[in-house]
Amino acid sequence: MSSSNRYNRQIILPEIGEEGQRKLAKSKVLVIGAGGLGAAILPYLASAGVGEIGIIDHDIIEISNLHRQVIYKTSAVGKSKAEQAKIMISELNPDIKVIAFTEKLSGKNAIALFEKYDIIVDATDSISIKYLINDACLLTNKPMVCGSIFRFQGQVSVFNYQNGPNYRCLYPDENSNALNCENAGVIGVTVGIIGMLQANEVLKIILGIGEILNGKILVYNVLNSEQQKYDFEKNSNLQITNEDFERKYNSDENQVQEINFDSVLDEIENDEVIFLDVRNMDESPKISLKNQIQIPLMHLENEIKKLNKNQTIYVFCQSGIRSKIATELLQKHQFKNIKSISGGALAMKTLLKEKINI
């Protein structure tokens, strides 16, 4: 089957045509995150004929992902999201090039990676990663198509487009403590709608058609099907240099240190250390340690005075994702001796059972 047959229905649109299809074929798009947003974005970019798609995600597929990350099969649980997403969209359109990166996006790889692509799509639910993406886009002069979800509401905007406003112009407070899908809850159609709106912005940028959400944020509510658009201005005082980027993202003191629980198992009764549980109060499995304190991530910044900056703090959540966010937050508040427990409460419970049985 020829490519002209594959894309016939969009080629006949006068705003696209053969020339537009050639633009799509020459374009390179990097999608950061192969979760709910990515699952909506990727098939539409692939089916439209975007020539090269990069997918970066270090996470694996969990059964709880499947209600919204609809490109994955139940049989894929436990496998790499990036690799499985690559398989899916390659089968959807074998004419395009798809590259899967199974590493975590960081200050060490972002710049080199972004240089290879024309458009960067933020499909993450991590506030700290959004700032990293924004700053790397500024240094590489790439547009950032951003989406975010909060329960039944989603937002879409395009940052750094033709030297327009960037993410920090809209959200200057980097210490804001927003919830992700795991904490706040989400219904699958919300991420589907917002992801497709992101894909739409990507296609408009490539084709040079329509009105880009540059300096505008679109807010959509799935419960009442209402949407609003708000304008925001560029703050020309917000500048970032390569030196700023290196200092912020690549200095040793700013890196989140992860440890395995078995390496600190002997400290569960040590009064000199604190085990900080940042899960919500109703989450299981329950962990009860002598030197433990529970402050849900959503309340951590407001209750940070409960913690002693001079103590060693080991942070844990359910699986190890929120604990890294909490660790980053505490580091910004000048906590030094702090580490995130890899695998979270799920790994801790297993080791604690083994210790009791010994």
The single residue listed with the structure tokens 């989406």 is 147
Q: Within this chain, do residues 69 and 213 fall inside the same structural domain, yes or no?
A: yes
Give the range of the structural domain holding residue 335, as residue numbers without chain letter.
Answer: 256-357
Q: Within this chain, do residues 205 and 298 fall inside the same structural domain, yes or no?
A: no
Residue 270 sits in a domain whose CATH number is 3.40.250.10
Q: Within this chain, do residues 266 and 187 fall inside the same structural domain, yes or no?
A: no
Check residue 206 and give its pLDDT.
98
Q: Within this chain, do residues 22 and 48 fall inside the same structural domain, yes or no?
A: yes
Would you tell me how many other CB atoms lie within 10 Å of the CB of residue 125?
A: 25
Q: Within this chain, do residues 288 and 214 fall inside the same structural domain, yes or no?
A: no
Last residue of a domain, one of 249, 282, 316: 249
Three-class secondary structure of residue 299 per DSSP: helix
Q: Within this chain, do residues 155 and 296 fall inside the same structural domain, yes or no?
A: no
Last residue of a domain, one of 249, 273, 305: 249
The CA radius of gyration of the chain, in Å to the nearest whole number, is 22
DSSP 215-284: TEEEEEETTTTEEEEEE----TT----HHHHHHHHTSGGGSPPEE-GGGGGGGTT-TTEEEEE-S-TT-S
Alpha-carbon span 337 to 306, nearest angstrom: 16
Q: Within this chain, do residues 217 and 291 fall inside the same structural domain, yes or no?
A: no
Q: Within this chain, do residues 120 and 223 fall inside the same structural domain, yes or no?
A: yes
Alpha-carbon span 280 to 183, nearest angstrom: 8
Alpha-carbon span 92 to 39, nearest angstrom: 13
Q: Within this chain, do residues 262 and 233 fall inside the same structural domain, yes or no?
A: no
Q: Within this chain, do residues 77 and 103 fall inside the same structural domain, yes or no?
A: yes
Check residue 357 and give its pLDDT.
46
Q: Within this chain, do residues 200 and 217 fall inside the same structural domain, yes or no?
A: yes
Question: Which residues of the chain carry a pLDDT beneath 50?
Answer: 1, 177, 179, 181, 356-358
Give this prediction's pTM.
0.74
Cβ atoms of residues 195 and 123 within 8 Å:
yes
Last residue of a domain, one of 223, 249, 275: 249
Domains identified in the chain, total number:
2
| Tens digit of each residue's pLDDT (9 = 90 or more) over 75-105 | 988 888 999 999 999 999 999 999 999 998 9
Check residue 2 and give its pLDDT.
55
Residue 223 sits in a domain whose CATH number is 3.40.50.720
Check residue 78 and give its pLDDT.
85
